[in-house]
């Protein structure tokens, strides 16, 4: 259990979510084990008795998340409402409280997966393993980042930016690190059944290392002889070994039960195009720009933009499409495959980027990274920074 705690302590730091060894992590085995003990552990330990949980992560986030949280909690009425896809489906809302009281904390966490305590940090939990707590912590950081930059762009357009918001934006913008530059290439395709697992694992790791995906969101697939090899639902892209499902394109097996929830969208791309490799990440500025729309105030589909947007929007040459996960009436398998034909990729409203190529993951990764860089540049052009 201590090794598991160390693993997620390191992942939080490596993903840029916390400072080194800042998190307080507790897990319940035969007894409650903490990575360190202090006054806070005595308070939070009571949560194991109050809630049906087996792990807790409590930490102040690293910058720029820390500054963003400080601002959003000041300007929100105890609840932050991000509008990205993952928050809508996974977190719903981000509750906040200034009351560091065990009863208040427990009452909120009975209803939600996280709690932000200004000046202290973020509390998340897992009911099965600390991985769940890590995923939620990562998701909260992603959500507040997208929320802050999306709001600023919207406020800029309507000329309602306060001095405090401007000051915070300038501070946060100065903290953004450049995207990494890679001089190597991924495995060369096309792949056979023996090499595809290694190739997918390698591609997944580089997507995470490049911070083009947060928590366990994102997926990857490759087509060989009418079999789609795809990451499992809920799998971490930097830990794909053992979590890749071979799914016949004709649905002749039940392997798709544990496959990514976006299997149907991947399948339709393979049916409609000559592509054999697909990457899907959640790069932040691509998500932020996907939600920037000049028609928002007059659109009859307001508040349903993510599934019913009627406008053909682009970020330069990259189309933005609506759509929801799965095979529903507004599923991505309907909206995204037609849009990706002949394009470097597609941005799904509030959700992320899909890229596809014919041979291996090199071009798909290159396009995923270049689209995000382009969106970041375009964002700061729109905000005149």
Indicate the SS3 state at residue 365: helix
For residue 385, the model assigns a pLDDT of 65
Query: The pTM is what?
Result: 0.94
Question: Mean pLDDT over residues 165-181, rounded?
Answer: 91
| DSSP H or E run through 23 | none
For residue 47, the model assigns a pLDDT of 94
- DSSP secondary structure of 1-44: -HHHHHHHHHHHHHTTSS-TT--EEEEESSSEEESS-SHHHHHH
For residue 362, the model assigns a pLDDT of 96
C-beta separation of 114 from 97 below 8 A: no
Mean per-residue pLDDT over the chain, rounded: 91
pLDDT by residue (tens digit) across 272-311?
999 999 999 999 999 999 999 887 777 777 777 777 777 8
Instruction: Give the separation between CA 225 and CA 230, rounded to whole angstroms.
Output: 14
Q: Does domain 196-382 sit in CATH 3.30.572.10?
A: no
Question: Mean pLDDT over residues 130-153, rounded?
Answer: 95
Between 352 and 258, residue with greater pLDDT: 352
Q: Does domain 2-173 sit in CATH 3.40.225.10?
A: yes
For residue 343, the model assigns a pLDDT of 94
What stretch(es) of the chain map to CATH 3.40.225.10?
Answer: 2-173, 196-382
pLDDT by residue (tens digit) across 18-77?
999 899 999 998 899 999 988 899 889 999 989 989 999 999 999 999 999 999 999 988
Beta bridge partners of 318: 315
Instruction: Give the separation between CA 83 and CA 119, rounded to whole angstroms.
Output: 24
Look at residue 117 and tell me whether its pLDDT is greater than 90: yes
> What percentage of the chain reaches a pLDDT higher than 70?
98
pLDDT by residue (tens digit) across 197-241?
999 999 999 999 999 998 768 999 999 999 999 999 889 999 999
For residue 312, the model assigns a pLDDT of 80
Instruction: Give the separation between CA 41 and CA 202, rounded to whole angstroms.
Output: 38
Closest Cα partner for 199 from 233, 246, 241? Answer: 241
């Amino acid at each position: 259990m201590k090794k598991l705690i160390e693993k997620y302590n390191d992942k939080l730091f490596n993903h840029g979510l916390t400072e080194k060894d800042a998190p307080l992590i507790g897990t319940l085995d035969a007894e409650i084990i903490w990575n360190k003990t202090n006054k806070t552990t005595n308070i939070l330990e009571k949560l194991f008795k109050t809630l049906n949980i087996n792990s807790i992560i409590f930490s102040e986030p690293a910058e720029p998340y820390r500054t963003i949280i400080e601002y959003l909690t000041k300007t929100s009425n105890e609840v932050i409402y991000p509008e990205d896809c993952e928050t809508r489906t996974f977190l719903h809302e981000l509750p906040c409280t200034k009351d560091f009281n065990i009863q208040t904390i427990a009452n909120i966490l009975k209803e939600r997966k996280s709690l932000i305590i200004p000046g202290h940090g973020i509390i998340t939990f897992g009911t099965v393993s600390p991985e769940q707590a890590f995923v939620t912590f990562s998701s909260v950081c992603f959500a507040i980042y997208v929320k802050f930059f999306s709001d600023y762009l919207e406020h800029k357009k309507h000329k309602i930016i306060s001095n405090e918001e401007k000051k915070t934006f300038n501070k946060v913008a100065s903290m953004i690190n450049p995207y990494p530059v890679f001089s190597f290439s991924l495995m060369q395709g096309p792949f056979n059944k023996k090499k595809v697992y290694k190739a997918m694992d390698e591609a997944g790791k580089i997507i995470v290392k490049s911070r083009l995906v947060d928590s366990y969101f994102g997926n990857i697939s490759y087509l060989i002889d009418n079999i789609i090899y795809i990451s499992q639902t809920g799998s971490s892209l930097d830990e794909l070994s053992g979590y890749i499902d071979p799914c016949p394109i004709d649905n002749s097996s039940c392997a798709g039960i544990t496959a990514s929830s976006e299997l149907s969208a991947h399948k339709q791309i393979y049916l409609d195009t000559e592509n054999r490799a697909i990457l899907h990440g959640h790069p932040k500025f691509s998500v932020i720009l996907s939600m920037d729309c000049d028609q928002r105030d007059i659109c009859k589909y307001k508040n349903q933009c993510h599934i019913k947007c009627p406008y053909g929007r682009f970020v330069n040459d990259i189309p933005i499409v609506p759509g929801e996960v799965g095979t529903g009436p507004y599923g991505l398998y309907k909206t995204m495959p037609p849009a990706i034909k002949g394009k470097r990729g597609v941005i799904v409203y509030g959700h992320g980027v899909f890229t596809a190529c014919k041979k291996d993951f090199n071009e798909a990764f290159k396009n995923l990274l270049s689209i995000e860089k382009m969106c970041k540049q375009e964002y700061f052009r729109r905000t005149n920074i």
